[in-house]
Chains A and B, each alone.
Chain A
Amino acid sequence: MHLAGIKWSLFEFIIVTSSQTLISAHNISLNHHGKNVLDKVSFELKQGEFITLIGPNGAGKSSLIKVLLGLIKADSGNIKRANNVRLGYTPQTFSPNPFIPISVIDFLNLNQKVEPIFLHETAILTGIEGLLSNPLKNISGGELQRVLLTRALLNKPNVLILDEPAQNLDVNGQMHLYKLIQDIHHQQGCAVLMISHDLHRVMKESTQVLCLYHHICCMGKPKSILQDSQFNDLFADQMDDLMATYEHHHNHCHED
């Protein structure tokens, strides 16, 4: 009987961990100055999933993330977080206060206890090991994104929320960052929710694409890039390994 109990809980454990819902949003609505920013948005992020959130500017993507993180309060609806959720988050814009003299490594250690060996391993993974002693305010936009990602990873997250991480990067920088995110998703197995600034190209890694314009317009899986005439440059071959197109399943136009 006792043995059976153990077996059952092990079975339950496997079932639960293989598809555990980590964060779920149910009918989230948010108004700002009388405007409907989010309109009954619902979705789930499960263990190991990679959700890409796309949508035009002003569609409410960042607002949705902020509601999920608890930075702003939704007017209605509810958010459920599993008890074991450990969040890693990189904000869309991050300008460190330029008046504080602080190095990259001190920033990574700030307000969290990190084993020095783990910090160096993570810095090597994200490719910032050469920047650790640099002043935080002197590093470039691409480097800053990798530093933020490192900080998020130091918390050993099982959910990674990335708000337009590749926004201000050139093609080369974007490629490196996407490769890194893909590796992290593969190796660490954490669920990823990423906002993308690109409406039609998303990471191949995505298990689900959500298109948001105040409400969720459509969702689905990405398709491979077969022939993208707009992307016949130097990086196309390498980018193909990482990126896929997303076909929108609605024909109504929201903006422009």
Chain B
Amino acid sequence: MEDFILRSILAAVGISIIAGSLGCFVIWKRMSYFSESISHSALLGVSLGLASGLGIHFGLVFVGGIFAFMIVALQERKFLSNDAILGIFSHIALSLGIVVLALVGGENIDYFSLLFGDILSITGSDIIWVYSVLIVIVGLLSFFWQRLLLLTLNEELAKAEGLKHTFYQLLFMLMIALAVSVSVQIVGVLLITSLLIIPPAIARVFARTPSQMVFQSIFISMVAVITGLSGSMYYDIATGPAIVISLGILFVLSQLLASKNLV
């Protein structure tokens, strides 16, 4: 097997575990637009990472974290509706990213692969980054699982039982920023959210408990990502869209099963 194929499969498996587990909370908390806004900030993260010389992963987590803080701070003021705030941030982030990237990146920036993913760009150090993030996210989710679940199920009850809402909200945003930073290269800036929300949306049809939903969405994500990767290599098409199309096919099938009461 060629090295780049092995690397992309390793990355795909790691990203599936990260996105599949975190994605359940994105679905439960109705935060898909939030993760969309954060992922749109990824281009800016890439450009600042390149310009500062600290590397794109650092830039991605830094910019993602800052955007998350600003969004939550603006939401707290209750001056604008959430969808307006997220829409504004999402597009400002994307435009800033394109402009700054053009200024610092010079001629040889491949916008297409940043926007839609490119498995050929994955290096050995990227794999190390993916699995470091995986350990952090899986560790945090398992440690705080019961508390995060209670807060997501009903905030008021969780607060009355002594849970600090703000802490877990910040923790969750940090995890989203980390997940975005590992997914940019494989699915691209524009399609990261689909990796977070489609697998849990499919698993929702079959799952009877919250943990079942997490494991099923990880499994679904792996199937779709590896299928998409194979398609992308075989037909030489962009990786992100190939993965999203295989997720889309599984989603339609799951909805058909659900509507026919087969599950």
- B160 near A71 (CB under 8 angstroms)? yes
Q: Which residues of B have CB within 8 Å of A87?
A: 160
* Contact indicator per residue, chain B 122-158, by CB within 8 Å of chain A (1) or not (0): 0000000000000000000000001101101110111
18 CB < 8 A contacts A-B: A71-B159, A71-B160, A91-B156, A91-B157, A91-B160, A96-B153, A96-B154, A99-B27, A99-B30, A100-B28, A100-B153, A101-B204, A101-B209, A102-B153, A107-B153, A111-B146, A111-B158, A111-B161
Known: A110-B149, A111-B149. A101 touches B210 (CB 8 A): yes
Q: Which residues of A have CB within 8 Å of B154?
A: 91, 94-97
Could you tell me the distance between the alpha carbons of A97 and B148 in the complex, rounded to whole angstroms?
13
Query: Is B255 among interface residues, defined by CB-CB distance under 8 A?
Result: no
Q: Which residues of B have CB within 8 Å of A102?
A: 149, 153, 209-210
Query: Is B260 among interface residues, defined by CB-CB distance under 8 A?
Result: no
Query: Is A85 among interface residues, defined by CB-CB distance under 8 A?
Result: no
* Contact indicator per residue, chain B 205-238, by CB within 8 Å of chain A (1) or not (0): 0011110110000000000000000000000000
Q: Which residues of B have CB within 8 Å of A63?
A: none
Query: Is A50 among interface residues, defined by CB-CB distance under 8 A?
Result: no
Q: Which residues of A have CB within 8 Å of B149?
A: 100, 102, 110-111
- Most chain B Cβ neighbours within 10 Å, of A94, A95, A101: A101
Could you tell me the distance between the alpha carbons of A25 and B190 in the complex, rounded to whole angstroms?
54
* Contact indicator per residue, chain A 45-76, by CB within 8 Å of chain B (1) or not (0): 00000000000000000000000010100000
- A100 near B210 (CB under 8 angstroms)? yes
Q: Say what secondary structure dominates the interface of chain B.
A: helix
Q: How many residues on B have C-beta within 8 angstroms of the other chain's C-beta atoms?
A: 24
Could you tell me the distance between the alpha carbons of A95 and B156 in the complex, rounded to whole angstroms?
10
Q: What range describes how many residues of A lie at the interface?
A: 10 to 19
By a beta-carbon cutoff of 8 Å, the part of chain A in contact with chain B is 69, 71, 87, 89, 91, 94-97, 99-103, 106-107, 110-111, 148
Could you tell me the distance between the alpha carbons of A71 and B163 in the complex, rounded to whole angstroms?
10
Could you tell me the distance between the alpha carbons of A111 and B213 in the complex, rounded to whole angstroms?
18
Q: Which residues of B have CB within 8 Å of A100?
A: 28, 149, 152-153, 210
Q: Which residues of B have CB within 8 Å of A97?
A: 28, 152-154
Q: Min CB distance, A66 to chain B, in Å?
A: 8
Residue of A91, A103, A110 near B153 (CB, 8 A) is A110
A-B interface, 5 closest residue pairs, ranked by CB to CB distance from nearest: A111-B146, A111-B150, A89-B160, A99-B28, A101-B207
Could you tell me the distance between the alpha carbons of A225 and B180 in the complex, rounded to whole angstroms?
65
Q: Which residue of B lies closest to A71 (CB)?
A: B159
Q: Which residue of A lies closest to B156 (CB)?
A: A91
Q: Which residues of B have CB within 8 Å of A111?
A: 146-147, 149-150, 158, 161, 163
Known: A99-B28, A100-B28. A71 touches B156 (CB 8 A): yes
Q: Which residues of B have CB within 8 Å of A91?
A: 154, 156-157, 160
Q: Which residue of B lies closest to A99 (CB)?
A: B28
- B209 near A103 (CB under 8 angstroms)? yes
